[in-house]
Amino acid sequence: MENGQTRQRLPRPVGALILLMTAAAVAIAVVRSLDLTKWNGHDAIAFGGLALGIALAEQFTVPVRCRTETLNVSPTEGLWIAALVLARPSVLALAVGLGILAGHAFRRWATHKVAFNTGQFLLALTAAQAVFRSLHPHGAAHPWTWFAAGLSMAAYAAVNATLVALVIALAEGRPFLAVLMPPLPANAAHFFGNTAIGLGGAMLWSASPYLFPVVLVPLAAAFVIYRVLLRSAHRRDHMGVVAA
């Protein structure tokens, strides 16, 4: 999930949170860049492919309109889960940073939105990577790896959902829980689906890299399903407000 584009004057707490996310993004990028000397040719190719894939995936988002802000959901994390299992942590982190920056810049989103999204994605991803590595996963096809990836995605989802709900609550002057709670069922389905797709992609890559493009089929299906789920939930919420 990410906070979508609006063009309006920022409340001071929102500006402070965006500055914090920007600083976090820069810090994570600097720390991960220290690992560049250990990269080989495969790492460089993986970085380029991931960054390009993330930038492209960010062109296909499902917008959910709040009062003044827009919440966007995409199948992007499906790529991240596969890379969480297969790629060097610095490759994934730097690819996510570049992919989000490029993808959102192409859509001409406001600079503060791009900065916030990049920072919160990298923070959430860092939490996921810390959980994943602490569990000492085995190969992509091992059940313990699936369990580790599931817990990692739960950590990612918690950070991601919290930060996005927080910035929307601050921007709209609404209670934090009033923003966080309503989309939780659809968000849970979104993160579960992306995790399953990512693990499937990791297993396909382990079997043969030539099979990996097959993962585009469930990614496309997930995009359609997310659109239906979120629009249905938004319609129910709107009808509930009208009835009240």
What's 195's domain CATH number? Answer: 1.10.1760.20
Q: Which residues share a beta bridge with 218?
A: none
CA nearest neighbour of 163 among 108, 209, 119: 119
State both tokens at 185.
């069922």
Contacts of 43 (CB under 8 A, 6+ apart): 87, 88, 91
CA nearest neighbour of 54 among 93, 95, 3: 95
Residue 237 identity (one-letter amino acid): D
* Number of independent structural domains in the chain: 1
CA nearest neighbour of 91 among 157, 35, 138: 35
Selection from 8-17, 23-32, 171-180 with the highest mean pLDDT: 23-32
Answer with the residue of higher pLDDT: 210 or 51.
51
* Residue 193 predicted with pLDDT over 50: yes
Q: Give tens-digit pLDDT for 131-166.
A: 999 999 888 888 899 899 999 989 999 999 999 999
Least confident of 76-85, 222-231, 234-243: 234-243
Domain span at residue 59 reads 2-243
CA nearest neighbour of 10 among 217, 119, 173, 240: 173
Least confident of 48-57, 152-161, 226-235: 226-235
Mean of the per-residue pLDDT values of the chain = 83
Answer with the residue of higher pLDDT: 198 or 104.
104
- How large is the angle between the packed helices 216-243 and 184-207, nearest 10 degrees? 180
Gap between the Cα atoms of 64 and 230, Å rounded: 7
Read off the pLDDT of each residue in 63-92 and give the average, rounded to a whole number: 78
**Is 222:193 a contact under the CB 8 Å cutoff?**
yes
* Residue 240 predicted with pLDDT over 60: no
